[in-house]
Every structure is written in structure tokens, then in C-alpha cells.
Structure 1
Amino acid sequence: MSAYRTPDEDLAQAAHRARIRLILDRVIHDGAMCMVAIKLDESQATVDQWTDSVWNVLRDELIDDRPDEQYGTGRSLRIDDRLAAIVMLLEEPMQAEARRTLAGLRAVAE
């Protein structure tokens, strides 16, 4: 559990992240199939079908106008699918930079 959120907020965020992960996994698959179709010199219609699938899933499934989740504490958790997806994709490089920064701070402290 996060020190910054209630247990209900943590559960809501986990559910939101799981839904976004499913969408991103589908887009990764469809994008990979598009690349395979290009490499295999498939027809333009096949490549277009995979390209359209990638864009349509992103456009149709990642929605930013969802109502905020409300909690008994009077707090709300804003749900922005597109921003959440971007942050999820950037988490690994952000964690790597944080580790490098902390390692640098430790080195200076020694």
C-alpha cells in the first residue's frame, strides 16, 4: 500500500493500470503484426488493417473523459487513460534514472 493513497485508491489504481496494460499489450501485438506484414511484403491492405487496428485501439480504448473515482474520504482519483499509458511506458526509464541519481548521491556522500 502506498503512503500517499488509501487502500481503496490503491485498488482503483491497480485496476486502472491492469486495464491499461491489456490495451497496451493489444497495441504491441497489433503493431508487431504490422511490422511483420511489412517485412513479409504483405499487401497494402494487410498493412493498413494492422495500422488501423493500432490507431483505433489507442483512440477508442484510451479515454480521458472518464468520471473521477470518488471515495468515502471525500477524495477523488482522476483517471486519465492516455496519460496513465504514457507514464506506464516511461516507468522503466524513470526508475533507471532514479537509480543512477541515487547511486550518484551515495557516491558523493562517501
Structure 2
Amino acid sequence: MANDQRGASSATFVQDLRSLVAPARSEKGLSEIPPKGALPAQRGRADYQAKATASGGGVAGPLQEVNVDLREYHEYRNVPTSDGLFVFLEQPIKKIVLRDANGDDVAFIYQQEPL
């Protein structure tokens, strides 16, 4: 008889614990939507748009350096290595002229980097 009371009290205890915990959420599915039929066949329509014509404003590649003598350089300067043990002399490129596929010359002008 003692076992029956213990079993009843433990079942009540478990039931009381479950009542304190939030009830589990039920997974609710989405409601069914009746399928719609396909659209009936119809003739398509669009307005014609002519292709844009090329109107310059760009460089036609490839670029090629034709004359190395057209290069310009910044003044010579002494450049120390990162540890300061050595100093070397450099003359950075200032301007180069390249020719594009249309035969037009394109100039690339570079600023001198600070030391």
C-alpha cells in the first residue's frame, strides 16, 4: 500500500512540475492554398530599342608603349632602406605615353611617392 501512495504522489509531483513549465508549442502547419490555373496563352509585346552607338570617351585596349624616349622622370632622390643601413639613388617615372588600338596616344602621369 505504501508503494501505491508513493506512486500516486510521484505521479502528482510530475504532473505539478509539468504544469509549472510552459506548455510545448504545437507545430502548426501552413494552411493549404488552392492551386491556381496557368495563365492562358497570349501574344507578347515590347517596344524596339535601337542599340546605342559607340561615342568615344574610352581607351581601346590593348595599350602599347611605342616610344620609350617619351618617358619623363621625376628628379633623382636618395631612398634609405627600412633599417637605415643603406641608401640608394632612384629616379621614379613621372609620365609614360601609350598608344591604344585606335592609334591614339594616352598619357599616364604618376605623382612622386613621399619617402
Q: Normalising by structure 2, what TM-score?
A: 0.25
Q: Normalising by structure 1, what TM-score?
A: 0.26
Structure showing greater Rg: 2
Structure richer in helix, relative to its length: 1
Q: Which of 1 and 2 has higher RCO (CA within 8 Å, sep 6+)?
A: 1
